[in-house]
Chains A and B, each alone.
Chain A
Amino acid sequence: MMGHVHAVALNTFRETARDRVFYLVAAFGLLLIASSAVLSPLAIGAQGKIVADVGLSALTLFGLLVVVFVGSGMVHKEIDKRTITTVLARPVSRRSYVAGKYCGLVLTLLCMLAVMEVLFVLVSFVTPAELHAGYALAFYFAFLELAVVTAAAVLLSTLVSPLLTAVLTLALFGVGHVSGDLKAFGELAGNQTLRAAMQVVYCVLPNLEFFNIRGAVVHGEPVSGAHVGLASVYAAAWIALLLLLSGAIFARKELK
């Protein structure tokens, strides 16, 4: 089974690596990081923080765009073009196929984030931004966050159209970042129904704000080992749950 996941993942990586959309998004990401070096002199005394904040945000934002543009249509494209039939007519389980697609996209993300991180480090050398180990952690957290969002995109792509998948993935990213606030708002509101609704939203959606350590890193605040461990386990649990659901749904799908 792992061999099949590996094969599908490598092929997916090759597909995205040869996709123009991927290069376009990557180019914009690199441009944004580079432009932060140009714009930073405008913020006198805080140039380093500007470069770091813009750079780390660009990592997440453009990673998200790759997930939305490439990930949302990935499975659909194979079904529409019927390339999937010759794959699944082989001794490949549908769960392996979904897992392979996911791993391939995550591998693409990892490569893209790594390139952007390298550029970010290079930009830091020519600006007052102060490099420290926290930036590597921020990179890791951004990767975890996008890996969870990718798993959600894969699940949605087994259920709805590519356009709806893209819209819902973006919505999930947005709501995922405010779900903690929504829960707090529900508790403050005093209305039982609203409180229950906010509690449900908080429970059924991943709390993506948990992966946001950009502010702490930019301001040089420490990130505890417990937070790193917990975030890793939290991401792994969500990814496993979302992929299990995707596999179960895709296993029942008709490939007419």
Chain B
Amino acid sequence: MSQRQGAGNAGAEVEAGCRIAGLVKSYRTGFWGRRRPAVAGISFTVARATVTGLLGHNGAGKTTTLKAILDLVRPDAGRIEILGRDHHDRRARARVGYLPESPYFHDYLSAAELLDYYGRLCDMPARERPRRALEVLGLVGMAQHARTPLRKFSKGMLQRVGLAQALLHDPDLLVLDEPMSGLDPLGRREVRDLLGELRQRGKTILLSSHIVPDIEALADEVVMLQEGRIAGVHDLRVGAAPTFEVRLDGLPSDRRVADLLAGAPRRAPSGRRDGVCVQVADLPRLRVLLALCADEGIEVLAVQSRHGGLEDAFLRALGVARDPAVGLMSRRAPDATSEASRTAEIVRLEAELSGAGEGGRR
């Protein structure tokens, strides 16, 4: 859970980009209207000027969470703050740009007309609207299609217009639901670059995806969802350096080897291969290990870098363990410790929010 706060005045708590505490949302389904939980008590904070990713399977609760933030669906319980204000407050939504999943717009309008309409809804001055519309269409590479009716646009073009409308009023918080969906490889690259540039400009971005590389390429921190619960949180800024898996035909006898491999797992190689596999935490240690092997004449059979990044963390969080020997995945039982720490986090955030609310009223 992110608890970082941006820089601010001494002694004053700086507002988070978005703060969610104990969010619960269920939908009525079927003839009898039975409630099906979509989000079951999640809490997290999106720090200012960061990119936070919501990662999860289809149906994990990502879109519901984003819609709850924007007051499009009403939570059963929990509290949501956008930029220091309650999410029901329209002044908060004035500072948010939203891109829905597979966006669809009024197809009888041209891209410029659509942005003018949205500009009016954002209370943008009439003189500023056409200039800003062209500017954001240029940012997403659609300036030449400003006068084309939206009904003639492809899915990828609509996605770009969706991004343009989200950026139109220069919002402080961007909420993007599957922003890469429908884009070709070049488009994905352009959007990634654009979002990176927005982060550099201090924008706060909350984006959802079920595509691990998309999130990995953009996010600073990832909240992993499974069946409406937070399965884990992964900080991509920490431990992002690669580790190495080295296959040797024996271990050097030098006493420094123990330090080089301290805490790292050691196992027999998979299949019919000989030797021993060791994990090395970083490149300097790898260099020392290889030098020791050369000194002692130990053959290095293979060296493989392992990023061990988000995908592994995601699989671990979902309770799916990757078996390195055969490449199969198996599910493990839920971790009672992480469940307990999650509950404690919810309680802590709720207390923090209610304290802030009382402070505000005073």
Contact = CB atoms under 8 A, between A and B. Distances in A.
Contact of B120 (A3, A15, A254): A3
Interface stretch (A65-73, A80-88, A155-163, A179-187): A80-88
A4 B90 CA distance: 12
B27 A7 contact: no
B121 A90 contact: yes
Interface stretch (B91-99, B134-142, B269-277, B278-286): B91-99
A255 B72 contact: yes
Interface stretch (B101-109, B181-189, B205-213, B311-319): B101-109
B93 A18 contact: no
A113 B71 CA distance: 38
Contacts, number: 78
Contacts of B108: 14-15, 18-19
A89 B87 CA distance: 11
Interface residues of A, number: 27
A132 interface: no
B118 interface: yes
Interface string A31-57: 000000000000000000000000000
A229 interface: no
A233 interface: no
Contact of A7 (B71, B90, B109, B121): B121
Interface in B63-81: 67, 70-74
Interface residues of B, number: 30
A243 B362 CA distance: 37
A91 B103 contact: no
A3 B123 contact: yes
Nearest to B175: A89
Contacts of B351: none
Given A15-B106, A93-B90, A88 B122 contact: no
B120 A86 contact: no
B67 A86 contact: no
Given A11-B117, A255-B73, 12 more contacts: A7-B117, A10-B117, A18-B108, A19-B108, A82-B103, A82-B104, A85-B67, A86-B98, A89-B96, A91-B90, A91-B93, A93-B90
